[in-house]
Structure 1
Amino acid sequence: MRYFILILGVCFCHISEAQTLRSRTVKLMGARFDITIVAEDSLKAEKHIDDAIAEIKRIEYLISDWIDTTQVSHVNQQAGIAPVKVDQEVIALTQRALELSKLTNGAFDISFAAMEKIWKFDGSEMEMPSRAAVKKAKAKVSYRNIEIDTVQSTIFLKLKGMKIGFGALGEGYAADRCREMMLARGVKAGIVNGSGDMNTWGRKPDGKPWMIGLAHPFHRGDLYAIIPLEKSGAAVTSGSYEKFAEINGKRYSHIINPATGYPATGLSSVTVFGPSAELANGFSTSIMVLGSKKGKKLLKKFPGYTYIMATDKGKFIHSETIPLETYRVKNND
């Protein structure tokens, strides 16, 4: 989803003291990725972008559950049948997901993917799914039924019909990996934004911080805030206003509450800032389910992360460490 607008304030050309900024937009992992690199010249910048795209594609063909041949798809195909051997990278990502599930008491759960056949959020839904259908699908959702064998490097889903998906972590993980790869190469500045899962490093060629505009959840086309990304490189927004189902005049969020099997309510958007886009995404998704009170309590345990939330009723709540004067607000009622 396009929750962020990158505010460059420059043209994509030679800018200052042998620094060139280049950007490219591609569709990967079922999402729009905007990749921006600052390098000594255009050729090097474009090569770095090529390599970032290759890394995202590598991750996509490892963890995407909509591609039948990936390791995660094999895990889903063998649900209730047998453990599946996967790369250590997939084991590690799954372990982090399970740790987040325990931390949030199940508000975050990668096995929510079993609900995808019930809730599509693609514009095709004309009526609510039946309670029986929701109950049947929800019975397959529980992180406690995911078994990891680190010695054999296998993942096993205990119940037939179970499914795991990394839609809430994968794009952030890819953004983090690209940032790490570029920093290891000595690329001093850039941005990888996977449809709202963004990680940045360094500064613009003019020495100023990267600026992002947060899309207003209640006024389409407007920005709610313009924020400099100085201390926290990653910024992730989860929201109900870009992807949703509208049934009988009521809007339903695409973020499912694993405890009920129904869309989360109470918050319209949650933006989390911090060092990791993967973890920021996990937090923003969890808080959409937990609500603002429990969400703020959760993030107090992680001082490197801050937040801005918008309730369904139009109220904005921000972290105490984000003073009001550090960002501009438009149409804040």
Structure 2
Amino acid sequence: MLNRRNFLNGLPRSRPTPPDRYWLHVNRSAMACRFEVTMPPSEHSGVVVARDALDEVDRLEEQLTIFRESSEVTFINQEAASAPVRVESTLFELLLLCQQLYCETDGAFDITSGPLSKCWGFLRRQNRVPTFDEIEAARLYIGSDKLLLDCESHTIRFARPGVEINLGSIGKGYALDRIAATMRGRVRTALLSAGSSSILAFGSGDIGHNGWSVGVRHPKYLDRRLALLRLRDCAMSTSGSEEQYFLHEGKRYGHIIDPRTGQPAERVAGVTVIAGSAAVSDALATAFYVGGPELAERYCSRHPDVLAIMLEADAERPVVFGNNSKCEVEMI
């Protein structure tokens, strides 16, 4: 739903710009997407800072991916069913956050849902419709309550063999938070993006601006915008299956699975979440897509810094839940 090419409303489009007025872009490919740092011309000294900050993404990918034998998460998945595994401190804090979000979303966000993604063939893009028995067998290993986290020893243990963790539904947002932490204090303002799913804005944009303008693409009509947001010191993530899905016997199956049922979520066309951190907005976008308007409304009413824009699959007009003082919303 994010339209990354239309982030910056103020960019000149009709006449050449003096070289010292060009917007600055630094990017890096990682985590199967492109991370990009955008800065106004006034931050020309921030290019080196941005390059250094993007080095953190490479380190995080090496730590968090399930597709490399050398990663810390792979080691956890291999060993934690047998004995407690000591976890690096920042990763341990991330796992605590994931377990907290699992509880707060009634299981709609769950980093243990990997066996279901495998069952449906989504992890390796070998799309298939599993049998009922296959889904039920996979569900035996699902549930972040099966992750036994010890805050004293910073260890994790799985409650049973077959459990595994996959941080794909929060990892890109978490990486943006880490990039921002590296850049803050050295750069006044920047817009950070991870592919087409997550954005983090800090500062107010160019001199005289009061935020970064970001277009939200319509999940049903991809050539249209659903809303225009102005972000300042907050993060935004989107979730939808308009691009990742497969057809089987005339039925459409999206790639986002409800870990509580084992079936692809299908009630929501798309959802955009604004929160204080990109890790939280990333996770909640998935959770609200799975849990629907009831979960979004309940969660936002309890967390005043979270805002959600949701378009249900059978609706033409979106619904806005909650509020965030760092984000201005203009529905289109």
CA shift at 1:257, angstroms? 0.9
User: 1:67–1:223: structure 2 CA closer, same or farther, 3 Å change rule?
Assistant: same
1:75 aligns with 2:76: yes
Write the deviation string for residues 201-234 of structure 1: whole angstroms up to 9, x where unpaired. Answer: 113324222111111111123222222114x521
How far, CA to CA, are the matches of 1:233 and 1:119 in structure 2? 34
How far, CA to CA, are the matches of 1:206 and 1:181 in structure 2? 22
Partner of 2:261: 260
How far, CA to CA, are the matches of 1:95 and 1:36 in structure 2? 31
State whether residues 296 and 321 of structure 2, in contact with CA within 8 Å, keep that contact through their aligned partners in structure 1. Answer: no
Write the deviation string for residues 213-266 of structure 1: whole angstroms up to 9, x where unpaired. Answer: 111111123222222114x52111111212222222222221111111111121
1:136-215 to structure 2, matched below 5 A, reads: 136-185=137-186, 187-195=187-195, 196-208=197-209, 209-215=211-217
CA shift at 1:103, angstroms? 1.3
CA shift at 1:53, angstroms? 1.2
State whether residues 111 and 166 of structure 2, in contact with CA within 8 Å, keep that contact through their aligned partners in structure 1. Answer: yes
Which SS does the other structure have where 1:224 is aligned? strand
Aligned-residue sequence identity (percent) comes to 27
How far, CA to CA, are the matches of 1:219 and 1:301 in structure 2? 32
CA shift at 1:2, angstroms? 5.5
If the length of structure 1 is used for normalisation, what is the TM-score?
0.88
Partner of 2:24: 22
More displaced stretch, 241-250 vs 114-123: 114-123
Write the deviation string for residues 82-134 of structure 1: whole angstroms up to 9, x where unpaired. Answer: 22222011111001100111112211111012223212336542x41111211
User: 1:3–1:106: structure 2 CA closer, same or farther, 3 Å change rule?
Assistant: farther
How far, CA to CA, are the matches of 2:278 and 2:322 in structure 1? 21
State whether residues 79 and 161 of structure 1, in contact with CA within 8 Å, keep that contact through their aligned partners in structure 2. Answer: no
CA shift at 1:46, angstroms? 2.2
State whether residues 86 and 153 of structure 1, in contact with CA within 8 Å, keep that contact through their aligned partners in structure 2. Answer: yes
Partner of 2:223: 221
Partner of 1:327: 330
User: 1:41–1:300: structure 2 CA closer, same or farther, 3 Å change rule?
Assistant: closer
State whether residues 123 and 245 of structure 1, in contact with CA within 8 Å, keep that contact through their aligned partners in structure 2. Answer: no
CA shift at 1:65, angstroms? 1.7
1:295 aligns with 2:296: yes
Q: Which runs of 5+ in 2 are unaligned?
A: none
Partner of 2:38: 36
Q: Count residues with an aligned counterpart.
A: 320
Letter in 1 for 2:168: G
How far, CA to CA, are the matches of 1:117 and 1:286 in structure 2? 19
Which SS does the other structure have where 1:148 is aligned? strand
Write the deviation string for residues 52-94 of structure 1: whole angstroms up to 9, x where unpaired. Answer: 2101112111222222211111011124222222201111100
Which SS does the other structure have where 1:34 is aligned? strand
1:45 aligns with 2:46: yes
Which SS does the other structure have where 1:237 is aligned? strand
